[in-house]
Amino acid sequence: MGSQNSTISATPTAENSKQPRTERGRKTLRKLLDAATVEFGENGFHEASISGITRRAGVALGSFYTYFDSKDAIFRALVVDMSNSVKQAARDAITEPMSALDIERQALRGFLEFASEHKEIYRIIDEAEFVDPASYRTHYETIAARINDRLQTGARNGEFRPDLSEAHAWALMGMNVFLGLRYSIWNRDGDSLDMVSDAAHSLLAKGIATARQ
Amino acid sequence: MGSQNSTISATPTAENSKQPRTERGRKTLRKLLDAATVEFGENGFHEASISGITRRAGVALGSFYTYFDSKDAIFRALVVDMSNSVKQAARDAITEPMSALDIERQALRGFLEFASEHKEIYRIIDEAEFVDPASYRTHYETIAARINDRLQTGARNGEFRPDLSEAHAWALMGMNVFLGLRYSIWNRDGDSLDMVSDAAHSLLAKGIATARQ
């Protein structure tokens, strides 16, 4: 991940976009989504414009409507696209075989790197809470479900406690989101992402108490 | 907390408000902040209006300017007021003497109840990311610093591991924020807040692994 190009790399399979059938069409769609990331990230949803997106993408204004019906539609598609990118970043960081705890560490590490390279993701996802609440909720419910799947797999393997629930998955997701906000987006202060993922790992591995209480 | 009245109960000491000197003035300021909570919570910052706030507060429009210079000013004051309310809710839930782990559990429990009764808090704090980024950041940095203080106190007492860092504090805060979003704001599905705080407590007490790894 770390040294890759700075555009979001997931394949666009976003809802609300009219799926292109040609390779050229897919490239144009990708350009529009990448340009929308910058336009929405810099200006916010309300100030952002379709012409701003097409100008940044180097695409004719009319072509926009080949792919999306409206500014709302490309915003929704972008949230789904970012969800997919986050998933992919976490997956890319996991190389089997790995213990269940190491998978969590690497998934966080992958996310932290992704967020460091795509700082606009927080602004866009967070703005979805206002612009498109259903997308916002789906984004987090989908991630939590994925984390819960990993927890249940770990529990079945005997690596994780058998009593882990959906609440634990939301707790882990919240940890990861706020560590990203603090260390990938706001200020690293020379703190390394390894320090951050090690801190989270130690919390998951043994809690914060000196002895099991 | 649970059965108290439904207005935010912290004493207004918000910046950006012109501090009232009389009891009557303090009551009017409190009415304005409570009305602003509803107005911003229902309409969002951009659609909200000063006249909407004064109408809800039952206060003359001109009186607003005795306390605030602008819609921005009361929004900023409201974020600070909500920060104080969150702090107070967590504090009220902590009754000494209590183990360091129980303090964390109770602080979360108090926050979850507070958020259940003041569902508008997420929308308002989250909108601050766009309307007033400095307030948004201060809100979370202040809470994280408070959690870190508790972690360091627990470590000095020998109850918490000696190697806990600011990253652990941000991890705990993120846990709490997302558990609140899921279980206090969105959907409890019959899940009790005790189940939620027990899940977080078990994570902090012993991690998620079957044995220390």
Mind listing the pLDDT tens digit for each residue in B110-167? 999 999 999 999 999 999 999 999 999 999 999 999 999 999 999 999 999 999 999 9
Q: Is the CB of A204 less than 8 angstroms away from the CB of B203?
A: yes
- Is residue B5 pLDDT above 60, yes or no? no
Return the sign of the alpha-carbon dihedral for residues A124, A130, A134, A136.
Answer: positive
Give the model's confidence band at A96: pLDDT under 50 very low, under 70 low, under 90 confident, else very high. confident
- Is residue B91 pLDDT above 70, yes or no? yes
Residue pair B135/B121 in contact (Cβ under 8 Å)? The answer is no
Which pLDDT does position B64 carry in this prediction?
A: 96
| Helix-, strand-, coil-residue percentages of chain A, each rounded to 5 | 70, 0, 30
State both tokens at B213: 């790894």
Give the model's confidence band at A211: pLDDT under 50 very low, under 70 low, under 90 confident, else very high. low
Candidates A99, A178, A204; nearest CB to B177: A178
Rg (CA), chain A: 19
Q: In whole angstroms, what is the distance from residue B77 CA to residue B68 CA?
A: 9
Which pLDDT does position A90 carry in this prediction?
A: 87
The angle that helices A133-156 and A166-179 make with each other, rounded to 10 degrees, is 120
Interfacial A residues in 122-141 facing B (CB < 8 Å):
123, 126-127, 129-130, 137, 140
Same-domain check for residues A175 and A114 = yes
Which pLDDT does position A204 carry in this prediction?
A: 96
Give the model's confidence band at A200: pLDDT under 50 very low, under 70 low, under 90 confident, else very high. very high
Q: In whole angstroms, what is the distance from residue A50 CA to residue B14 CA?
A: 40
Q: Which amino acid is at B152?
A: Q
Q: What is the mean pLDDT of residues A47-61?
A: 97
Q: In whole angstroms, what is the distance from residue B96 CA to residue B89 CA?
A: 15
In a domain, B211, yes or no: no
Q: Go through chain B and tell me how many residues it has.
A: 213
Between B94 and B76, the more confident residue is: B76
Same-domain check for residues A165 and A117 = yes
Enumerate the residues of chain B whose CB falls inside 8 A of the CB of residue A99: 213
Same-domain check for residues A96 and A124 = yes
- Is residue B98 pLDDT above 60, yes or no? yes
Residue pair A39/A68 in contact (Cβ under 8 Å)? The answer is no
Q: Is the CB of A174 less than 8 angstroms away from the CB of B174?
A: yes
**Least confidently predicted of A3-7, B18-22, B130-134, B176-180:** A3-7
In a domain, A153, yes or no: yes
Q: Is B212 on the interface with A (CB under 8 A)?
A: yes
Residue ending a domain, choose from A42, A69, A96? A69
Angstroms from B201 CA to nearest CA on chain A: 9
Q: Which of A148, A198, A208, A212 to mutate to test the interface with B (most CBs of B within 10 A)?
A: A208
CATH of the domain at A169: 1.10.357.10
Same-domain check for residues A191 and A86 = yes
Q: Is A77 on the interface with B (CB under 8 A)?
A: no
Which pLDDT does position A18 carry in this prediction?
A: 75
Same-domain check for residues A32 and A98 = no
CATH of the domain at A25: 1.10.10.60
- Mean pLDDT (chain A) is 89
Q: Is A209 on the interface with B (CB under 8 A)?
A: yes
Query: A2-29 burial by CB neighbour count: b if 16+ within 10 A, else e?
Result: eeeeeebbbebebebbeebeeeeeeebb
Q: What is the mean pLDDT of residues A97-107?
A: 94
Residue ending a domain, choose from A28, A53, A69? A69
Q: In whole angstroms, what is the distance from residue B11 CA to residue A204 CA?
A: 38
In a domain, A148, yes or no: yes
In a domain, A195, yes or no: yes
State both tokens at A48: 């952002």
Q: Is B44 on the interface with A (CB under 8 A)?
A: yes
Return the sign of the alpha-carbon dihedral for residues B45, B50, B55, B58.
Answer: positive
**Least confidently predicted of A2-6, A137-141, B157-161:** A2-6
- Is residue B4 pLDDT above 90, yes or no? no
Residue ending a domain, choose from A32, A49, A69? A69
Q: Is A24 on the interface with B (CB under 8 A)?
A: no
In a domain, B100, yes or no: yes
Which pLDDT does position A8 carry in this prediction?
A: 41
In a domain, A194, yes or no: yes
Which pLDDT does position B3 carry in this prediction?
A: 35
Instruction: State how many domains chain A has.
Output: 2
Between B38 and B189, the more confident residue is: B38
Between A55 and A1, the more confident residue is: A55
User: Where in the sequence is the domain holding B54, given as residue range(s)?
Assistant: 23-206
Residue with tokens 């808090």: B121
Give the model's confidence band at A24: pLDDT under 50 very low, under 70 low, under 90 confident, else very high. very high
